[in-house]
Amino acid sequence: MALRINNGEFYAIDAHSHLGRRKTPLGHGVASFLGDDLVRNLDEAGLDCAVAFPLGAPYTDYSESNQIMAEEMAKHPKRIISFCRINPNFGPEATAKSLDHCLGTLKLKGIKLHPEIEFFDPNEAELMEPVYVAARRYRVPIIFHTGMSSKASPGVIAELAAQHRDVPVILGHMGVSEYVKLAVAVARQNENIFLETSVVGWMPLLLEAFRGVGTSKILFGSDHPYNPLSMEVEKIAKHVTKAAKLKEDDLRKVFAENFLAIVKHDR
């Protein structure tokens, strides 16, 4: 499997997708989407591998979903890199315990947080401290949903990220729209903050990000299955590549190397 861009072939990782079962469909009608579905779509899109975390399920502690993530990764170890999803509102002790289970026992490879769906402030030190402590201990990154809400502002996230410089922090969707400039600013100011490309769709903002932080700090992501893989791949592989004049080196970084520098993965 390889992604073909112009005349080159690229090992390609999607840094943002979702798996799981829900009682009711969300958004684009997705109620159940598991590893086999994801792998089939990766094959179609020419992607080698995807980071996946649970679909949003507000008010739950994600213990059941995180178990599913481990099972799906075990079925497709080369193709799926599972992260756990945590709801910090269950309190610092529950968070620490859950993260020890997910990262220590289930060996999940990172932590996903959604400040809007789980409704917490990512600069609330008491709730967030165990997350950063576990990320450091298990050497995994944290990916935050950013944008669409002031609770998910890159500026609010950067406050604690700046105090934990050894923990890689990925800003999912790089702020989506009105927060992209702020996402670029905090990524420039903090060595440990990276930007992920899914959902943001206005070319001038995407180009501002690529020019502002450089291709060493940008990770390709899709937010599949909410967004079609081909749409998100084409956005970067075709349109941004052309407009920002990306070279082969840049594409290798954005589609794989930047991620592989943060998360160990056996190709």
Q: Which residues bind Zn ion (CB under 5 A)?
A: 223
Tell me the angle at which helices 63-75 and 35-45 cross, rounded to the nearest 10 degrees.
50
Q: Which is nearer to Zn ion, 98 or 227 (CB)?
A: 227
Supply the minimum distance, in Å, between the C-beta of residue 80 and Zn ion: 15
How far does the chain reach from its first CA to its final CA, in angstroms?
11
**Smallest separation (angstroms) from Zn ion to the CB of 102:** 18
Q: Which of residues 79 and 224 has its CB atom nearest to Zn ion in the complex?
A: 224
Asked if residue 83 lies in contact with residue 110, where contact means CB atoms within 8 angstroms, the answer is: yes
How far apart CA 93 and CA 73 sit, in angstroms, is 27
Q: Which is nearer to Zn ion, 223 or 250 (CB)?
A: 223
Least spacing, CB of residue 249 vs Zn ion, in Å: 28
Nearer to Zn ion, 14 or 250 (CB): 14
Structure tokens at 140: 């995994």
CB of 18 to Zn ion, least distance (A): 6
Q: Which residue is nearest to Zn ion (CB)?
A: 223
Of the pair 115, 246, the CB lying nearest Zn ion is at: 115
How near is the Cβ of 36 to Zn ion at its closest, in Å?
Answer: 20
